[in-house]
Structure formats: C-alpha cells, structure tokens
Structure 1
Amino acid sequence: MRQIDDPDMLEVMTSRFRIKLFSLLFRIGPVTVSELARQMGADPGQVSYHLRQMQKHDLIEDVPELARDSRERWVRAAMGGWAVAGLETPEERAAVQAWTSQWVIDQFERLRDWERTHMTFPEDWQNAAFGGSHHLRLTSDELAQLRDQLYAVLEPWRELTKSRVESSEATPDSRPAFLFYHAFPEVP
C-alpha cells in the first residue's frame, strides 16, 4: 500500500478527466496514448498533458518495450493501493476531501454503469458478480481488525493482477473486475 503524504499528488487526481483516464488505463492498459485518446473521445495532446501530470507523481508508467517506433508511446497504470497519511493542515485536508469526493463519485458511476449494462455480459460473468451491504455493531478496534482482514484476503488477488498487468499478458478469459466497499461508523 502506497502512503500518500503529498497534497499535490491528490490535487492531480481531483480532476474528473484524470480519474476516468486512470480507470480506463487500468482496464485496458498497457495501451498507446492514441488509443487512450480514442477511447476517451479526447484529443491526443490533451491526454498526453494529463498523463504527464499523473506521471510526475508515479501514477502511471511508460512501457517503452511495446513501442514499434520512437513516435509511439505506451503507458500503463502504476499498480498498488493508496492510503492517505500525514495530511493534517487545512489545505492538505481540503486536497484529501476533493480527491475523496471524486473517488466516491467514480465508484458509484461505475456501479451504475454495471447495473445498466450487466445483462449484456455473458451469464457466467453475471453470476460471478456480487454486491451486498451489512449492518454491523463494532468498536473502532474491531472495525480496524475487519479492515485488515479484508486487505489480507484481497492481497493475493492484487498480486495476481499486478503480475498480469506488468507482464502485459492477460489470461484470455480474464476481465478487469472492480471491487469497492466502504465501512464507516454511523450516528445511531
């Protein structure tokens, strides 16, 4: 898990365009900048600009070994989770809040897209997808323990994904899968 303690990095990712670009890059990368621009419906120069801003903070990486010539640029999303730490000044907290707001919007837009299109997926994928909500009564220590257990369960799957992305060899029947969840205290 990458500890994010730089408010400038979070500010880079408060852009709705960059969040969508990063998400698309993870789903289809490694990919050329031209293909990213085509899929985003944007100008290649605009995509290149945003990729440079993201690369300054190691959010993306070049994959030069895939380029067929010096004009072709291949990129992929840098793998790894993020955890925000040590950002306590009012300006830093504002950057965290702006990024978190965009991040949550992206999660729910992706869920809405799945709900709208899930019937177009093969039946095995429809049956494999899942969701749920749970109402628990926990102490803060128990909630932290649950978080740590969930992270431990996910770690082998994250490592498998990372190895597939970094080797640029997706298993023929694999697809990007999006998992998100939130656990937080509520006022009784």
Structure 2
Amino acid sequence: MERIEAITAVHHPVRRRIYDYLSLHGTAQVTTLARALGLQVGSVSHHLRMLKRAGVVEHAPDTTGDRRTSWWQTSRSGLTWSAEDFTDSPADALLAREAERANVETHVGRLRAWHRRTAPLPEWARAAFSIDTLAWATPDELEALSAAMRETFAAWQAGIDESDAEADADAERRPVFVFAHGFPTVP
C-alpha cells in the first residue's frame, strides 16, 4: 500500500509537474527544472525537498563533477492506490480522495489542452486515440484488467526506451500522455 505522504506529495500541481518532468527525462538539475517548468529555482528546491521527504524523488549522482548544482531523479516509477486503502484513517481517506480528484483534474486538463491546441499537428492527430468500452465485470475482473493495462503500458514504454538508440534521426519524439479509467457505472 502506498504511503499517504507520497500520494499527497505528488498530487500538488507543481510537484506533479516536477515528478512528470523527472519521469520523462531521468535526471535534472534544479535550474533545468525551473527553466523548463517556468518556475523560480527556490520554489523548485522547496518542492523537491517535499517530494524527497515523501520518498518520491532522490538526489542523483552528479556526472558533471560540478558540485555547485544538485541533480534529482525519481525514486519510483509510479503510484498506485485507492482511497479505499485508507479506511482505517478518515483523515488519510480524505487526503487520498482529494489526491484522486487532483489526479483526474490533471488527466482531464491534459486532454482539454490537447483538444484546444491551435497548432496543426496532423501526424499526431492521426496517432492520438480514445478508447472506451462498457462491459459487465466483477471487482476481481476489473482489477485483472488494471494489472494487464499496467503491464501493457510498461512493456510499450520499455520498447520505446530500448529503441531510443536505434530511432530514426528524422522521427519526432514528444512526451505522450496515456491514461485510462475503469470504474463501475450505470448505463
């Protein structure tokens, strides 16, 4: 089970952006993070300390030998939780539900930004997708689907990471956000 400190730390909007950046780029200096995210260095340092305290990021080795800067990396590859994991503590359950809400807002915000884009990206528009389905399932069957999707996403990402060295020099790589939700509903 995830610790509530890790869940709440990542779902602060600025910390989520920092975590996502590090997840994509592996390691980064504080100044690089600040510049890439349009934030102040002091703010980034503060949020990195909060993420470190929660066990979500850690200092990375400085490969440049320049001891004036600090390098950071994620210490984990993701978070998986449910508000139901925290039924023993009403306060933690409330925090977990709020983190779920913030997570959904992040997902929907990214989707809205994609649909509001003004620059034409025909090759990306053809590649983008939306998948949904409606089916009968038990909680165990829905959990099995969740596990299968995580495995599929991990295998897909690993395949991309392995092909980086072999990538066509003309191919354009961009950060790509993929998400899916599965939950009980009423038709």
Name which of 40, 43, 68 aligns with 1:43: 40
5+ residue gaps in structure 1?
A: none
Structure 2 match to 1:101 = 101
For normalisation by structure 1, the TM-score amounts to 0.79
Deviations 1:68-89 (A, max 9, x none): 4111222233442322274221
Stretch moving more, 112-121 or 125-134: 112-121
Higher relative contact order, structure no. (Cα contacts within 8 Å, ≥ 6 residues apart): 1
Identical amino acids, percent of aligned pairs: 25
Q: For 1:178 and 1:107, how far apart are their aligned partners in 2?
A: 9
TM-superposed CA distance for 1:111, in Å, is 1.2
How far the C-alpha of 1:143 sits from its partner, in A, is 2.1
Count residues with an aligned counterpart: 181
CA distance in 1 between partners of 2:21 and 2:139 (Å): 35
Q: Structure 1 residues 170, 8: closer, same or farther in 2, change over 3 A?
A: farther
Partner of 1:139: 138
Please give the alpha-carbon distance, in whole angstroms, between the structure 1 residues aligned to 2:103 and 2:161: 21
Residues 118, 126 of structure 1: 8 Å contact kept: no
1:20 aligns with 2:49: no
Secondary structure of the corresponding residue to residue 66 of structure 1: coil
Amino acid at match of 2:86: L
Distance 1:20 1:170 in 2: 29
Distance in 2 of aligned mates of 1:41 and 1:47: 10
Alignment of 1:73-152 (within 5 A): 73-84=70-81, 86-88=85-87, 89-117=89-117, 119-121=119-121, 123-152=122-151
Match of residue 31, structure 1, among 18, 28, 33: 28
- Deviation (angstroms), 1:54: 0.4
Task: Check whether the contact 1:37–1:47 (CA below 8 A) recurs between aligned residues.
Answer: yes
| Superposition TM-score, scaled by structure 2 size | 0.80
For structure 2, list consecutive stretches of 5 or more residues without a partner in the other structure. none
Residue 183 of structure 2 corresponds to 184
Deviation at 1:151, TM superposition (A): 2.5
1:145–1:12: structure 2 CA closer, same or farther, 3 Å change rule? Answer: closer
- 1:19–1:103 contact (8 Å) kept in structure 2: no
The residue number in structure 1 matching 2:51 is 54
Deviates more, 1:94-103 or 1:79-88: 79-88
